[in-house]
């Protein structure tokens, strides 16, 4: 562990099938007006909305509803949420949904009391709100496992007009004040979204794991988390109603991206940069976009990060050396990753997501590049990766 860091995570978690019971007490800490953000209606169909609204009413809250937060939330929808929050002088934002609704709620929370162009400041310029800017508190009731948004300050927004998807990780002030994680709530997630979430978890861990060469406790934690998500994913894909597996997947998702396993690490995130652009062009679920470019990316990264890829093969995939060279062991690890992705039904190409040759220039253009992990990708490298991923 050679890096320097500070660690503070202010999000209070409630986990388990009785976790919604804690909402009532949490609400006591906030003023009367609650902005309830949710998506396209799944929470109404599965009954979670009714449960939450009943608790809010019992607590005497005024509920301001903002539905229709789409997957990969747009800038236009952000403007709408900011306007609603301003007009209603909201005291608390409650996100009821997956990563999109949680991300969106944090984005609104950051923007309501910023008088300038919040898109330009927070997302295009990647700045944080001034120390004295008022920020609204956010609570999350998570219905889908994957992004880790329930315990981080990430907010990914898509400018649909310019086909540009970009994330900003705010400072700790934008972390949810509390998050309620009930694995039962994830049972109605469509199968493709469950799989996308599973790969999102796996890739979050890989993005942090595949950087640096020092002996870092974070990497041991990452290996354990990867083994857990691989194990549980196999069970959940066969039986999505397996509570234990869904519960482990939900918990792994939180730890995969609540900043812990990135401590002391340079980190990578280039699969996410390319994946965001693929997502902006194809509208694919986030985890699918990541999966579709992963093999081409990691094959390149392996050339510079060989010893870490050998470790990945041995410690995550149980590859036995058996007289193989380091290159062969590392390659066997990547093949095991690919086999698992196929086994659980993930896309391995961008064409499966609807990408066509004429989109490659645009996807490349929308990919933010920086030196990361074991690579320093140029735009032409991104183009190559996309072509290899067709």
- Residue 226, interface with ligand NZQ (CB under 6 A)? no
- Give the closest residue to 34 by CA, choosing from 90, 82, 113: 90
Q: Which residue stretch of 94-102, 174-182, 352-360, 366-374 sits at the interface with ligand NZQ (rule: CB under 6 A)?
A: 94-102
- Give the nearer residue to Zn ion in terms of CB position, either 200 or 219: 200
Asked if residues 5 and 37 have their Cβ atoms less than 8 Å apart, the reply is no
Q: Give the interface size with Zn ion as a residue count (CB under 5 A).
A: 1
- Give the nearer residue to ligand NZQ in terms of CB position, either 99 or 347: 99
- Give the nearer residue to ligand NZQ in terms of CB position, either 275 or 305: 275
From candidates 3, 10, 31, 41, binder to ligand NZQ by CB under 6 A:
41
DSSP string, 230-269: HHHHHHHHH-TT-HHHHHHHHHHHHHHTSSGGGTT-----
Least distance from ligand NZQ to the Cβ atom of residue 44, Å: 8
- Residue 240, interface with ligand NZQ (CB under 6 A)? no
How is residue 212 written in tokens? Answer: 């640096």
Give the integer Cα–Cα distance in Å for 217 and 180. 28
By CB under 6 A, the residues from 115 to 174 that bind ligand NZQ are 143-144, 146-149, 152, 154, 156, 167
Give the integer Cα–Cα distance in Å for 183 and 227. 19
- Residue 183, interface with ligand NZQ (CB under 6 A)? no
Q: How many CB atoms lie within 10 A of CB 138?
A: 28
* Binding pattern for the stretch 190-229 against Zn ion, x by CB under 5 A and - elsewhere: ----------x-----------------------------
Find where tokens 């083994």 sit.
227
Among Zn ion, ligand NZQ, none, residue 46 binds (CB under 5-8 Å by kind) = ligand NZQ
Scanning the chain, the segments in alpha helix (DSSP H) are 23-27, 42-45, 48-58, 75-88, 99-111, 118, 191-209, 217-238, 243-256, 270-282, 286-304, 306-317, 326-344, 360-365, 379-388
Residues 6+ apart with CB under 8 A from 67: 37, 38, 39, 40, 41
Among ligand NZQ, Zn ion, none, residue 305 binds (CB under 5-8 Å by kind) = none
* Binding pattern for the stretch 258-287 against ligand NZQ, x by CB under 6 A and - elsewhere: --------------x-------------x-
Give the integer Cα–Cα distance in Å for 78 and 84. 10
- Residue 40, interface with ligand NZQ (CB under 6 A)? yes
- Residue 188, interface with ligand NZQ (CB under 6 A)? yes
Q: Give the interface size with ligand NZQ as a residue count (CB under 6 A).
A: 34
Q: DSSP assignment, residue 174? A: G
DSSP string, 179-200: EEE-GGGGGGS-HHHHHHHHHH
- Residue 268, interface with Zn ion (CB under 5 A)? no
Least distance from Zn ion to the Cβ atom of residue 95, Å: 17
- Give the closest residue to 309 by CA, choosing from 242, 375, 381, 263: 375
Using CB under 6 A as the criterion, which residues of the chain lie in contact with ligand NZQ when the complex forms? 39-42, 46, 71-72, 97-101, 103, 143-144, 146-149, 152, 154, 156, 167, 185-186, 188-190, 193, 197, 200, 257, 272, 286
The residues that touch Zn ion, with contacts defined as CB under 5 A, are 200
């Amino acid at each position: 562990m050679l890096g320097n860091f500070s660690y503070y995570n202010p999000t209070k978690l409630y986990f388990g099938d009785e976790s919604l019971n804690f909402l009532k007490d949490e609400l006591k800490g906030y003023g009367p007006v609650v902005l309830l953000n949710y998506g396209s209606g799944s929470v109404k169909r599965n009954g979670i909305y009714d449960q939450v609204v009943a608790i809010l009413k019992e607590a005497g809250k005024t509920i301001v509803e903002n539905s229709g937060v789409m997957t990969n939330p747009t800038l236009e929808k952000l403007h709408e949420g900011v306007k609603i929050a301003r007009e209603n002088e909201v005291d608390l934002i409650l996100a009821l949904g997956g990563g999109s609704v949680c991300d969106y709620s944090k984005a609104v929370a950051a923007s309501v009391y910023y008088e300038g162009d919040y898109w330009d400041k927070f997302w295009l310029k990647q700045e944080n709100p001034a120390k004295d800017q008022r920020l609204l508190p956010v609570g999350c009731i998570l219905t889908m496992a994957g992004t880790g948004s329930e315990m981080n300050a990430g907010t990914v927004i898509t400018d649909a007009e310019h086909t540009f998807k970009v994330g900003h990780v705010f400072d700790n002030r934008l972390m949810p004040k509390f998050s309620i994680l009930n694995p039962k709530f994830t049972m109605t997630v469509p199968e493709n979204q469950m799989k996308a979430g599973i790969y999102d978890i796996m890739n979050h861990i890989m993005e942090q794991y595949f950087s640096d060469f020092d002996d870092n406790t974070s990497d041991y934690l990452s290996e354990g988390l990867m083994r857990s998500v691989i194990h549980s994913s196999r069970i959940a894909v066969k039986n999505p109603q397996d509570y234990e597996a869904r519960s482990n997947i939900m918990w792994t998702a939180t730890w995969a991206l609540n900043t812990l396993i990135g401590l002391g690490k340079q980190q990578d995130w280039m699969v996410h940069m390319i994946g965001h652009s693929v997502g902006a062009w194809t509208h694919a679920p986030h985890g699918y976009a990541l999966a579709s470019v992963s093999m081409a990316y990691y094959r390149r990264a392996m050339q510079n990060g060989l010893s870490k890829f050998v470790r990945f093969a041995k410690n995550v995939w149980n590859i036995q050396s058996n007289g193989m060279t380091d290159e062969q062991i590392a390659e066997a690890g990547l093949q095991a990753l690919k086999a698992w992705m196929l086994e659980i039904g993930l896309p391995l190409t961008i064409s499966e997501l609807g990408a066509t040759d004429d989109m490659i220039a645009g996807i490349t253009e929308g990919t933010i590049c920086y030196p990361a992990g074991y690579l320093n990708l140029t735009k032409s490298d991104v183009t190559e990766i996309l072509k290899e991923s067709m």
